[in-house]
Structure 1
Amino acid sequence: MSGKQDQMKIKVFHASKEGMSLSLYALLSVESEEKCRDLLSQVVEEDGQKCTPLLIAARNGHEKAVRTILKFSPDLEQEATVKFDGYVIEGASPLWCASGAGHLGVVKMLVRAGANVNHPTRTNSTPLRAACFDGRLDIVKYLTEHEADIHIANKYNNTCLMIAAYKGHLDVVQYLLELGARPDERAHCGATALQFAAECGHVKIVEELLKHNAKITKNEHGMTPLIAAAERTRADVVEFFISRSDITREEKIDALELLGASFASDKDNYDIELAYKYLSLGMKERFSQADIIAKPKVPPISAYDYHVECQTVEELEAIRHVSASLHMESLAIRERILGPHNPEVPHPVIFRGAVFADNARFDRCLQLWLHALRLKQSNKVSVVKDLLRFAQVFSQMLHVGVELEFLPVHEVLEATVLELERDKEKIHSPGPKDDVDTIKDELESNMVTGLYLIMIAVRVAKGRMANSSSNKIVPTEQTRHTIGDNEAKVHQTVYKLVRSNATTRAGHSLLHLAVNPDTPVDDFHTNHVCKFPCATTAKLLITCGASVNAMDANRNTPLHLIVSYQKPISDFLTLHSIIMALIEGGAHMDTVNQMGATPFDSATTGVAEIILRTQKKLNLKCLAAKVVKIHGIPYKGQVPTHLEAFIELHGPGHVDGLGQRSKNPEQQHL
């Protein structure tokens, strides 16, 4: 494609984007019909969007520009990628964009021109759904009057009525109901429009849906709209529901107590006064009639400081001004009512733990966070953020000199093993709700966090912690026997980590990451304790079975990566220790990467070269493999399978007296 053609396409696109209709007409009117189609079908990537001229003009509401483009018969259904409210929308049509952006005039033009009013995006969102999301009743009416289907749901089976209810657009909800929208349709999560309206606090919409005979059902977690509203601190919705005659006394009590407990636990809507108010109302309701409804007796939870829920109005009154007790009361109530398998239970537990951490009460923080971690993993909920959060607080404790016990560190390291195994399983066999790209991101994050935790676990197992004033390593009072047991447990867990065979998109194993200077270190406390490359971690991984000859996507082995370390003098011990550990672990020094380079070729400093040279020993097996590769001797199917893999490690290249590819003499210096 010529530069002149490129310039013309850019001019057409930007004239469309800026609404310069006269310039647009001048550019297109002098071109042939075929050239116009080509110019208008172009896709320009800009600001994270990939748009055609028609789509960007429609997106920006430039009616005159759209009218001009329509004269040249563009493809009305050509899809693009756009951004709306922070969301990336793939497969959007010009009509979808105009509807979502609220440009009624453009919507009318496109529909009159023959645009498909039900053209879905990749997630099956229609132009009507986009208008419902934005609450544009005028566009909703126009589209439905021109055959837009109000019953088309997106890939989550979320309908137009649901999104309007969720966003709080009462007029749109009323209109859709009048057209026959089904209020009892259920999304894949089990929620209905009533559920969405209730949990978002839209009491008027709740009333409207109930007037249209919406049923009170439970979502996949067993939550009714009333319970969902209470959990989200939607007091208006709760009070509306409990005023209805079809709500039982037991349901009323649960809702009031959960509402109060949530006000004491919600980081965004925290209000201790409202918490006590609704907890008190719930307790009084228990004793409001002759048949008292006593609280069920449940075993106290250690993470909640073994708090036993108040059983009477007097007991609750006694802790009214004791915020610590009210907080534990609230966490216990939430877990009792919602159940330990509800994914909403852990969030306030984590929040309360963070408050303890901010006040240097690390013991209580860890108790709460470990409880939340166990709940989430038992429900197979992602804990990628939780694992990193633990690494951060562990590092903070070590850095400031607070004693850190081994057991919680080891438990979190064990949890990392389980999480990596689950990540790999989901990538291999994703479920209907799994986004593979997201899971791959999480796996990579969990691998790096796992390395942080190994470094921390090794330090704690040895009974060492950093003193904040001198930053020296000082021993704790642990016995030598305990230290030995703890180190053995670390080895066992690291062995399981290695056995997970987790790799990043770039093919990096845990050992690759441990020796790679470019492996990222989180800068929230973690960087005070962890750094890469790490000789101790690399040696431990090798001891626990990590392959020293594993190759990444570019055929680099861990040895290829460490020899590029740019601190050969200031951190000589790390460089030397890792190279020696790899070689002693069986690393092949003549393995070639994708560029045909051996580790010796990849060395960026003379120090690394010297270390390699001093360790090089001629190996007849390696030389034979290299000869086979150099001369193209057929070997597949002629030798045992394990030898095929061994020969593959050795690529072609001239071998000098050290068994290394010859280097430019100018590179052979310190």
Structure 2
Amino acid sequence: QTATMTSAWKEALRSRIYCAARDGLALTLYALLNNAPKADFPEYLNALVSDREQRCSPLLIAARNGHIKVVRMLLNLAEAPVQLEQEGTVQFDGYVIEGATPLWCAAGAGYLDIVQLLVLRGADVNHPTRTLSTPLRAACFDGRLDIVRFLVEHGADVHLSNKYNNTCLMIAAYKGHLDVVRFLVDCGADPNVQAHCGATALQFAAEHGHLGIVRELLAADARVLANGIGMTPLLAAAERTRADVVRFLVEQPWCGRQDKVDALELLGASYANDKDHYSLERAYHFLELAMIERSREPPLPKKPGPALAAYDSRVECTSLQDLRAIRDDAHALHMESLVIRERILGPHNPELPHPVVYRGAVFADSASFDRCLLLWLHALRLRAAARLPLRKDLLRFAQLFGQMLHVGVEVPPAAMAQTLSACLRELEAGPQEDQDANLLTCLYLLVELGRLPPAEDGHDLMRLVYRLVRLNRVTRDGSTLLHLCVSADTPVDDYHTKNVCRFPCASTARLLLRCGADPNAVDGRRNTPLHVIVAYMRPVSDFLTLHAIIVALLEAGAHPDATNGRGETAAQASPTGVAELVLRTQMGISLRCLAARAVACYGLPFRSGEIPQSLVPFVEMHGGRGRPQPRPGAL
């Protein structure tokens, strides 16, 4: 008991010392340390303390928060030298940084006085984080030239890159810090290093519209290189509607006529469908400039691609006269621009789908659902071709279908089938971290599918549902689609989807069961869907749903005497008498189930050949998982 009290007292003191350092309470910290045994100083001062998403030592958190007095006090403690290279976990601008040192924190937060103090005490100026970010990179991110200069003067290596091969020069160019870029170039930073994605500092500067930095880098002999998806700095600037950068780059001697035309066309096309920089006036202006350039001798004839239904079967203008004919036709300019973007960027470019989705959203807002569906289904194919995650796209379709059903517009079965097919592919091969969200979206789609009238191609849709069920994907807590469907705790997206999706949902549960969902599947707590539905806390006001789901599960073969991880049957787990009563009136117990419960109840051995191996899972389902179960009584 004394040892426990001592441990608790030490833990409390460690926490108070950390909080004093975190909050800059130098006098409080001095008093706490003055009354603590000197032998315990290393434990108090160098231990990492968890603080929400951060995990820091007192020195680390004091440096992070800019408390120079606390930092100086900790560094001056002769009794227990603090660890200058202690690594911890801190938060910066919403990002969690692992492996950060006090110097990295001070540099990233912009505290020059603490940076100077730590470096002069011997801190390693090149000590990286887990992602290989150095203190110099942290200072470059915020554009602190004073800190950058000091670190370089004291040995910081301007050539070190992070795990993505992203250099200090790149981050300074990306953030638009011209003075830092100029200093790094003067210190010998190489402007032609390429990150793993193929981008250079020039590319980052161009696509973010930092014209001054673009000029500086070109003056430093930066080469014009394409990144991994074929985007040059010129095309990147045009795609992001950076008109000043485009105007400057197309006048450079290395820019050929075709490159100039492509850039002007892409710039104009991007203005026509950019959510943040939308301008039809600018769109037409740059498209006209491009067409004029095409018309000069020798002419550069355009080679239009095939007409796509998604773009209203639009065929590109090939002459100045054609273009001027649609000057005042907003829809034609929108579609013309989408066609141009796809021709120049190519169908596999990950930047291509965003404006397509935006234009579709505009149609949806004006209730032009058929036009929206054509564009969004095309964007879905483009994102799949570019191997991009589809989580947001799939949810967007569930929201759109919810909106259509809510206002009485029929959802085309073909559109539902294409969306379910994409959902199936994403569950098969998509990112694991998106699986829970994709399962929920899939469930929303199934609920919406149940609201559709019978269709000629209904068998195709049922085959898709069957394949989804057979895939048997589960959430992190082990819930199947059927578990989610019968749970009142299943979240529903707030945007349109909530108008048609509510859980538990009896019709969707019946659909899943008809397509082969296992009524006896267990989640991470070994709850079957029957255990989940009996926990429904609206058994009176929504009795029909409760009754329908229980009946459907039992008719599909659910075992009412299967036990969960707490050894409870569904009836025993029910918090209300209503669900228990429904169970008792509906269920029939087989002799085989009674025998399995008896084996579990009395803890009889059954895994060593006493029964056929095929029956072992059956007995385990009824409670035989290693310990005797309570007597079932009347179940």
| TM-score normalised by the chain length of structure 2 | 0.95
- 1:215 is displaced (CA, Å) by 1.6
Aligned equivalents of 1:545 and 1:630: distance in 2?
31
Query: Partner of 1:518: helix, strand, or coil?
Result: coil
Matches within 5 A, 1:128-167: 128-167=136-175
Aligned equivalents of 1:267 and 1:353: distance in 2?
12
Equivalent in the alignment of 1:111: 119
Contact 1:410–1:457 under 8 Å retained in 2: no
- 1:657 is displaced (CA, Å) by 5.1
1:414 is aligned to 2:416: no
1:336 is aligned to 2:343: yes
Query: Partner of 1:459: helix, strand, or coil?
Result: coil
Aligned equivalents of 2:613 and 2:182: distance in 1?
69
Deviations 1:460-480 (A, max 9, x none): 143xxxxxxxxxxxxxxxxxx
Match of 2:43 among 38, 44, 49: 38
Contact 1:153–1:159 under 8 Å retained in 2: yes
Structure 1: state its 5+ residue gaps. 428-438, 463-482, 661-670
Aligned equivalents of 1:263 and 1:234: distance in 2?
10
Deviations 1:289-327 (A, max 9, x none): 2x2111112101111101111111111111111111111
Equivalent in the alignment of 1:465: none
Aligned residue pair count:
622
1:449 is aligned to 2:456: no
Contact 1:461–1:486 under 8 Å retained in 2: no
- 1:389 is displaced (CA, Å) by 1.1
1:535 is aligned to 2:506: yes
- 1:211 is displaced (CA, Å) by 2.0
Aligned equivalents of 1:640 and 1:271: distance in 2?
74
Deviations 1:33-53 (A, max 9, x none): 332222222434445433221
- 1:24 is displaced (CA, Å) by 2.1
Equivalent in the alignment of 1:29: 34
Query: Partner of 2:89: helix, strand, or coil?
Result: strand
Aligned equivalents of 1:238 and 1:548: distance in 2?
61
Equivalent in the alignment of 1:236: 244
Match of 2:461 among 453, 465, 490: 490
Matches within 5 A, 1:584-663: 584-638=555-609, 639-651=611-623, 652-656=628-632, 658=634, 660=635
Deviations 1:363-416 (A, max 9, x none): 111111111011111222111111111111111111111233221122111211
- 1:527 is displaced (CA, Å) by 1.4
Query: Partner of 2:91: helix, strand, or coil?
Result: strand
- 1:640 is displaced (CA, Å) by 4.3
Contact 1:596–1:653 under 8 Å retained in 2: yes
Aligned equivalents of 2:338 and 2:332: distance in 1?
10
Structure 2: state its 5+ residue gaps. none
Matches within 5 A, 1:140-289: 140-289=148-297
Aligned equivalents of 2:578 and 2:333: distance in 1?
62
Equivalent in the alignment of 1:14: 19
1:324 is aligned to 2:331: yes
Aligned equivalents of 1:270 and 1:41: distance in 2?
54
Contact 1:387–1:449 under 8 Å retained in 2: yes
Equivalent in the alignment of 1:50: 55
Aligned equivalents of 2:536 and 2:335: distance in 1?
50
1:309 is aligned to 2:325: no
Aligned equivalents of 2:571 and 2:107: distance in 1?
60
Name whichever of 343-352 and 145-154 sits farther off. Answer: 145-154
Is the alpha carbon distance of 1:186 and 1:642 closer, same or farther for their aligned partners in structure 2, counting shifts above 3 Å?
farther
Equivalent in the alignment of 1:295: 302
- 1:163 is displaced (CA, Å) by 0.7
Deviations 1:320-377 (A, max 9, x none): 1111111111111111100010011110011011111111111111111111011111
Deviations 1:575-603 (A, max 9, x none): 11111111111111111111111111111
1:80 is aligned to 2:88: yes
Q: Which letter maps to 1:518?
A: D
- 1:147 is displaced (CA, Å) by 2.0
Query: Partner of 1:460: helix, strand, or coil?
Result: coil
Aligned equivalents of 1:572 and 1:31: distance in 2?
64
Aligned equivalents of 2:488 and 2:290: distance in 1?
58
Q: Which letter maps to 2:392?
A: K
Aligned equivalents of 2:37 and 2:116: distance in 1?
28
Contact 1:406–1:461 under 8 Å retained in 2: no
1:405 is aligned to 2:412: yes
Contact 2:469–2:516 under 8 Å retained in 1: yes
- 1:7 is displaced (CA, Å) by 4.1
Aligned equivalents of 2:84 and 2:559: distance in 1?
59
Aligned equivalents of 1:640 and 1:256: distance in 2?
75
Aligned equivalents of 2:212 and 2:589: distance in 1?
82
Aligned equivalents of 2:36 and 2:15: distance in 1?
15
Is the alpha carbon distance of 1:282 and 1:641 closer, same or farther for their aligned partners in structure 2, counting shifts above 3 Å?
farther
Name whichever of 537-546 and 176-185 sits farther off. Answer: 176-185
- 1:19 is displaced (CA, Å) by 2.2
Q: Which letter maps to 1:353?
A: G
- 1:541 is displaced (CA, Å) by 0.9
Query: Partner of 1:90: helix, strand, or coil?
Result: strand
- 1:96 is displaced (CA, Å) by 0.6
Query: Partner of 1:88: helix, strand, or coil?
Result: strand
Query: Partner of 2:452: helix, strand, or coil?
Result: helix
Name whichever of 43-52 and 361-370 sits farther off. Answer: 43-52
| TM-score normalised by the chain length of structure 1 | 0.90
1:61 is aligned to 2:32: no
Deviations 1:476-511 (A, max 9, x none): xxxxxxx2x333222111111112211111000111
1:567 is aligned to 2:538: yes
Query: Partner of 2:450: helix, strand, or coil?
Result: helix
Name whichever of 583-592 and 505-514 sits farther off. Answer: 583-592
Aligned equivalents of 2:132 and 2:558: distance in 1?
51
Name whichever of 226-235 and 388-397 sits farther off. Answer: 388-397
Aligned equivalents of 1:221 and 1:531: distance in 2?
42
